[in-house]
């Protein structure tokens, strides 16, 4: 447990998250309209999405399947009977005047998410529920000095709202939760997790208490759209609340916003101003009844999820939990690693992938999918090390060229003449030249200054432009020095 | 040709088939009739050019031997059905100028089967009313009103909400009309104007493209002058529609074939709770008469009990406004219809909705908002849902003992404009016999059964098991024949 130090002692933060994840689907939740991001405003709107008179919603079965798949991925209870409700409120970008959502009977019940913390440890956070709902449209306030424009492309797009238990205690845990949830959703192919495009958004519930005390009054920070902001907002909000309480004040339950320019949370509306959503079952839709067998069939198609993959990487490839974590956090990374490791030393493969490759990608701001070095080529590079064509040191130079050009390692080695020298005669003559030129140091070595061995190795490698096989150099050099 | 507007649909189909007249001639006669009955204010929009074009196309289809089941029959469409390119108002100011880019499933079905559209008929605003006195486009006058046309001694209401449909059909300006029924909006105006109106089982007719009032109750149905015509038109209106999640995927029977006249051995339930206190003697008498007719035809009356009947009206006036308050939220001035500008978004909402909705609609939105509010939801909306289930069970139980239920359609004959208007509760009482079947989703039909002491029509209501419109129609026709009502409205085209 890590606590925040206040004037009056330690404070514990209590955090619960509501994540809105856009379902990967070509069509909206209740209309056939398309869902692609970035389309011309109001070009993906059906009469249903624009709430024209007499229009009716019809459930998109694919979205239901995606929600069930997600529920199964969260090891959650799938409710075979669920109900769509109307959440009533007026807003310009909510054409129906209500959002179709699920209130009392969601499609997915209790589940869990295992957090992988930076120190390699794990912690389980409860998932309260997952329900399906429609997204609203978008209000564009910056297109005209006095008018607001409405883009209904997003109106009706399927969202999964995934609600956690108030199980998190630090901003890092909250960050780890969102990362892990995003990873699971991506593995499942049910949400692309792209927070910049708004396909994943967070409402963060924060309260503080003295350790062991009952829960404090919480504030909800709405619509936070990056993991960094989630963590910053929690840190700020917790300190704000502690300060108020320590100064003798009390926390008002309210909805707040994260100001991304001033790095503070601001009040959006108080409990008194909170909407009365007047939820009631949507009479245009019958209760959703799922077939247990259908759910079982979906279960059979689930991919290996990060937790299982991590366990397998640890047992099968003998990787450290840390390396396994780094590799399984994204399916594409894990797949890349396995392609490299196949038939090769898995630890060496892990070192190259998490070390050189991720380092270079990170510097270049590239995703693994955009890597100029293919898994096949990285594997090829490791093979060149294994068969002594090049040394580990030369390999790093080759890798740099591979990352720049995308060329095959063998071609680069050939072109640059980096092939390792294993001809003992050639190495011997290089060593003889080095020893002759440094007779004084040879004498010092022989009189007991062992440390000079490294100097000689360096000189020999320099003379051979690094291409001499290091093992051979060591062996012959030692023999000659001692001889 | 004269007399064409007085035909039944069945006779008109006959005449068309025998080439006694063409669809164009039949339509021309009706277009003229629509003009003649303008004093009734039954139509909001007349579409004579479209009607004639459709009639022409109909004659062409018939000539090619491709006549549909309603080929060439001119009908009126309640202005709650969206009709492509034709003004659709729901009789509300808030839909000013709204011309849909789409056609409702029910009207599409009718045009598919050859029907011809004469125009869009008046109704209570958003179908909320029992007298057609809440329309932004003015009251509809019943053709049964006594006195000189336009200068009536009593302006009788046609009932509601499908008042324009009822008036147009009764006054012989259309062979039939579409109606919608949420708590009695087909059956009560049918009874008030001496015509036939059937609300099929919830789910039979698609609600797609019909302006919503209360989604769990709204159901379209035909209004015609005979039971046989109702059977013809109902068959064309029904059918599964994947665009409506509450539409039922069931074969549509040939309802006309069910009209065998043979009801021997059929058990007719008479619910004792419907003998409400203060029921006018002539209503009780026509009900008894109905029982007698069915007995004479070989059916067996059985007393049944529907114990939760007394809660039905209260339940309905919670459930329907609750759904309406949400359904009508989309009329916000942003995308179509009326917009009254304001300084802020909220002002614009208030100005638009304040000006766009009439008093009754505003009342129901307020009631609905209230019963769904935090702290009241359980006491009102949730309780009403529970009672609704009980009412459904009542009918399930009753139909173990009988095949069809007979009741009066309305607690009185039609009243005059100005009466019952001070007290909305008094107006809501009109629905006391029709509402329970709506809550249970059952098929219900009103059939003309006689004329009251005031010279105005009286109707009897038949309720059936879910999806058993056939029995309802069969028994209805027996009453229709036995009653053999000859009285006609004083004003007809």
Mean pLDDT of A443-472: 86
- Do B245 and A286 lie within an 8 Å CB cutoff? yes
8 Å CB contact between B234 and B488: no
Residue numbers in A near B247 (CB within 8 A): none
Catalytic residue, chosen from B161, B162, B165, B446, is B161
Distance from CA of B349 to the nearest CA of A (A): 9
- Do A284 and B243 lie within an 8 Å CB cutoff? no
Which pLDDT score is estimated for A122?
A: 87
pLDDT at residue A274 greater than cutoff 90 = no
CATH class of B7-265+473-483: alpha beta
Give the residue on A whose Cα is nearest the Cα of B325.
A88
- Do B326 and A51 lie within an 8 Å CB cutoff? no
Which pLDDT score is estimated for A191?
A: 97
Residue A365 in contact with partner chain B when CB distance is under 8 A:
no
Residue numbers in B near A52 (CB within 8 A): 100, 102, 335-336
Mean pLDDT of A57-68: 97
Which pLDDT score is estimated for A59?
A: 96
pLDDT at residue A161 greater than cutoff 50 = yes
Q: Identify whether B236 is a catalytic site residue.
A: no
Q: Identify whether B130 is a catalytic site residue.
A: no
- How many Cβ pairs closer than 8 A exist between chain A and B? 97
User: Quick check: bond before B161 cis, omega within 30?
Assistant: yes
Mean pLDDT of chain B: 96
Residue numbers in B near A276 (CB within 8 A): 373-374
Residue A95 in contact with partner chain B when CB distance is under 8 A:
yes
Which pLDDT score is estimated for A1?
A: 57
Mean pLDDT of A265-290: 92
Of A53, A58, A98, the CB nearest to B243: A58
pLDDT at residue B324 greater than cutoff 90 = yes
Indicate the pLDDT class of residue B1, thresholds 50, 70 and 90: very low
Of A52, A90, A148, the CB nearest to B332: A90
Mean pLDDT of B423-451: 91
Which pLDDT score is estimated for A178?
A: 97
- Do A280 and B372 lie within an 8 Å CB cutoff? yes
CATH for A424-482, among 2.160.10.10, 1.10.150.120, 1.10.150.530, 1.10.10.410?
Answer: 1.10.10.410
pLDDT at residue A202 greater than cutoff 60 = yes
pLDDT at residue B459 greater than cutoff 60 = yes
Instruction: Look at A3 and B118; give whichever has higher pLDDT.
Output: B118
Indicate the pLDDT class of residue A389, thresholds 50, 70 and 90: confident
Domains of chain A by residue range: 4-298, 304-416, 424-482
Express each pLDDT in A428-443 by its tens digit: 888 888 888 888 988 8
- Do A278 and B377 lie within an 8 Å CB cutoff? yes
Indicate the pLDDT class of residue A271, thresholds 50, 70 and 90: confident
Residue numbers in A near B215 (CB within 8 A): 283-284
Lowest mean pLDDT among A272-286, B17-31, B343-357: A272-286
């Amino acid at each position: 447990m890590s606590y925040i130090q206040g004037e009056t002692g330690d404070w514990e933060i209590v955090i619960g998250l509501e994540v809105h994840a856009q379902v990967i689907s070509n069509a909206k939740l209740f209309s056939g309209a398309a869902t692609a991001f970035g389309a011309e405003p109001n070009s993906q709107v059906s009469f249903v999405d624009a709430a024209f008179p007499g229009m009716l919603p019809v459930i998109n079965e694919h979205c239901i399947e995606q929600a069930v798949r997600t529920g199964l991925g969260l090891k959650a209870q799938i409710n075979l009977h669920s109900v769509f409700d109307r959440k009533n409120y007026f807003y310009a970008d909510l054409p129906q005047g209500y959002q179709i959502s699920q209130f009392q009977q969601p499609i997915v019940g209790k589940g869990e998410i295992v957090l992988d913390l930076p120190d390699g440890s794990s912690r389980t956070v409860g998932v309260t529920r997952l329900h399906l709902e429609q997204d609203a449209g978008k209000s564009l306030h910056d297109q005209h000095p006095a008018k607001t424009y409405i883009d209904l492309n997003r109106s009706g797009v399927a969202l999964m709202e995934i609600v956690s238990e108030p199980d998190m205690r630090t901003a890092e845990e909250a960050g780890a939760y969102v990362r892990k949830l995003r990873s699971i959703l991506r593995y499942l192919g049910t949400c692309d997790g792209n927070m910049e495009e708004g396909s994943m958004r967070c409402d963060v519930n924060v309260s503080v208490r003295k350790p062991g005390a009952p829960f404090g009054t919480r504030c909800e920070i709405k619509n936070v759209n990056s993991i960094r902001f989630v963590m910053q907002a929690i840190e700020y909000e917790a300190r704000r609340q502690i300060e108020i309480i320590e100064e003798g004040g009390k926390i008002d339950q309210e909805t707040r916003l994260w100001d991304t320019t001033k790095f503070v949370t601001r009040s959006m509306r108080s409990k008194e101003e909170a909407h009365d959503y007047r939820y009631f079952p949507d009479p245009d839709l019958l209760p959703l009844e799922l077939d247990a067998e259908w759910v079982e069939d979906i279960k059979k198609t689930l991919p290996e999820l990060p937790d299982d993959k991590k366990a397998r990487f640890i047992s099968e490839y003998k990787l450290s939990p840390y390396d396994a974590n780094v590799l399984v956090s994204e399916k594409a990374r894990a797949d890349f690693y396995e392609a490299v490791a196949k038939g090769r030393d898995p630890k060496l493969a892990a070192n190259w992938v998490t070390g050189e490759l991720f380092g270079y990608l990170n510097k270049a701001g590239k995703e693994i999918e955009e890597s100029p070095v293919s898994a096949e080529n990285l594997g090829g590079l490791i093979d060149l090390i294994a068969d002594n064509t090049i040394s580990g040191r030369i390999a790093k130079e080759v890798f740099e060229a591979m990352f720049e050009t995308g060329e095959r390692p063998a071609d680069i080695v050939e072109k640059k003449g980096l092939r390792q020298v294993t001809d003992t005669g050639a190495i011997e003559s290089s060593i003889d030249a080095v020893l002759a030129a440094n007779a004084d140091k040879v004498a010092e070595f022989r009189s007991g200054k062992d440390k000079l061995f490294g100097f000689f190795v360096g000189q020999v490698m320099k003379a051979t432009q690094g291409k001499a096989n290091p093992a051979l150099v060591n062996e012959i050099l030692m023999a000659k020095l001692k001889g | 040709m004269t007399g064409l507007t007085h035909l039944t649909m069945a006779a008109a189909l006959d005449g068309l088939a025998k080439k006694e007249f063409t669809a164009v001639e039949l339509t021309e006669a009706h277009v003229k009739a629509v003009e003649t009955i303008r004093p009734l204010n039954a139509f909001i929009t007349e579409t004579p050019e479209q009607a004639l074009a459709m009639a022409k196309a109909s004659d062409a289809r018939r000539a090619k031997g491709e006549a549909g089941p309603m080929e060439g029959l001119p009908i009126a469409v309640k202005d709650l059905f969206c009709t492509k390119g034709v003004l659709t108002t729901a009789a509300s100011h808030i839909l000013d100028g709204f011309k849909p880019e789409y056609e409702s499933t029910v009207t599409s079905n009718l045009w598919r089967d050859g029907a011809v559209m004469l125009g869009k008929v008046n109704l209570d605003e958003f179908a909320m009313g029992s007298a057609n006195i809440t329309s932004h486009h003015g009251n509809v006058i019943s053709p049964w009103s006594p006195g000189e046309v336009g200068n009536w001694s009593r302006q009788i209401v046609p009932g509601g909400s499908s008042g324009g449909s009822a008036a147009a059909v009764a006054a012989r300006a259309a062979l039939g009309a579409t109606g919608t029924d949420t708590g009695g909006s087909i059956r009560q105006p049918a009874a008030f104007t001496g015509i036939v109106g059937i609300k099929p089982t919830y789910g039979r007719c698609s609600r797609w493209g019909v302006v919503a009032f209360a989604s769990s109750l709204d159901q379209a149905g035909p209004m015609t002058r005979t039971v046989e015509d109702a059977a013809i038109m109902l068959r064309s209106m029904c059918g599964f529609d994947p665009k409506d999640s509450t539409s039922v995927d069931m074969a549509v029977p040939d309802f006309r074939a069910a009209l065998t006249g043979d009801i021997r051995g059929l058990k007719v339930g008479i619910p004792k709770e419907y003998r409400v206190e203060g029921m006018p003697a002539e209503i009780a008498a026509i009900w008894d008469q109905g029982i007698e007719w069915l007995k004479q035809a070989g059916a067996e009356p059985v007393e049944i009990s529907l114990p939760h009947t007394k809660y039905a009206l209260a339940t309905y006036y919670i459930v329907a406004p609750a759904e309406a308050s949400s359904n009508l939220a989309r009329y916000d001035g942003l995308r179509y219809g009326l917009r009254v500008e304001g300084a802020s978004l909220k002002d614009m909402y208030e100005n638009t909705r304040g000006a766009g909705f009439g008093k009754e609609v505003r009342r129901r939105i307020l009631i609905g908002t209230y019963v769904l509010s935090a702290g009241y939801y359980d006491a009102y909306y949730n309780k009403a849902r529970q009672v609704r289930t009980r009412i459904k069970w009542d009918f399930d139980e009753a139909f173990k003992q009988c095949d069809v239920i007979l009741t009066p359609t309305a607690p009185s004959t039609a009243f005059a404009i100005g009466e019952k208007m001070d007290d909305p509760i008094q107006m809501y009482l009109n629905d006391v016999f029709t509402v329970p079947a709506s809550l249970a989703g059952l098929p219900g039909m009103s059939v003309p059964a006689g004329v009251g002491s005031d010279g105005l029509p009286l109707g009897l209501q038949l309720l059936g098991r879910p999806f058993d419109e056939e029995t309802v129609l069969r028994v209805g026709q027996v009453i229709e024949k036995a009653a053999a009502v000859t009285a006609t409205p004083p004003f007809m085209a």
